[in-house]
Amino acid sequence: MQTLVGEKAPKFSATAVVDGCSIVQSFSLEQFLGKRYVALFFYPKDFTFVCPTEIWAFQEKLQEFERRNVALIGCSTDSEFSHFTWLETPRERGGIQGVTFPIISDINKTIANEYGVLAGCTEDDDGVTKITGELVAYRGLFLIDKSGIVQHCVINNMPLGRNVDEVLRIVDALQHFEKFGEVCPANWHSGQKSMKPTRDGLKEFFK
């Protein structure tokens, strides 16, 4: 699979549920170009087990994303009506009522396919299309800068929940580099020492 890192994020226009209560048509990333960063994450299914823990973890850090000027957006291959119903279901009943960031419906599976996170596969056998596995999204996440370029991506298999704090750390690293032109070493966190991308900068870092 070819990585999207360093490339323009694939464009799309899809139906989404926004603010936890409104279904909107023609939701796209173009509204954020030149204005905001985007953290677009995919998850397999509504009304499951690991997925709501991730969505709540993202929601609990929503203000941290907003503070960094990052638009947080979820996406799965469920319909907008499934999203809406899940958003109306209380947390104690397995729902995500209270989640406010947009959740996109990729019912045709084209967005997940364009971003390289569609599980399962289709193949033609003498004119008959055969599907292997479920055509749902892996746990992919893409950090897109204000120019629409993918700067970071991570893709987990279905059982493996993501670390939301790591997403914020990567956002901090990207914004630090953009502001100061200094690169961020392993395990770097905001406020820690970074380095100039030169041999002298490397020597200075290890002093």
So which residues are the catalytic ones?
51
Token readout for 6 is 């360093």
d(CA 184, CA 151) in angstroms, rounded, equals 14
Question: 141: buried, middle or exposed (CB in 10 Å: 19+, 13-18, 0-12)?
Answer: buried
Cβ contacts of residue 75 below 8 Å, gap of 6+?
A: 40, 41, 42, 43, 103, 104, 105, 106, 111, 112, 137
3-state secondary structure (DSSP) of residue 176: helix
d(CA 30, CA 36) in angstroms, rounded, equals 10
**Residue type for position 118:** L
How many CB atoms lie under 10 A from the CB of residue 169? 16
Q: Where are the alpha helices (DSSP H) in the chain?
A: 50-60, 62-67, 80-88, 110-114, 164-180, 199-205
Rg (CA), the chain: 19
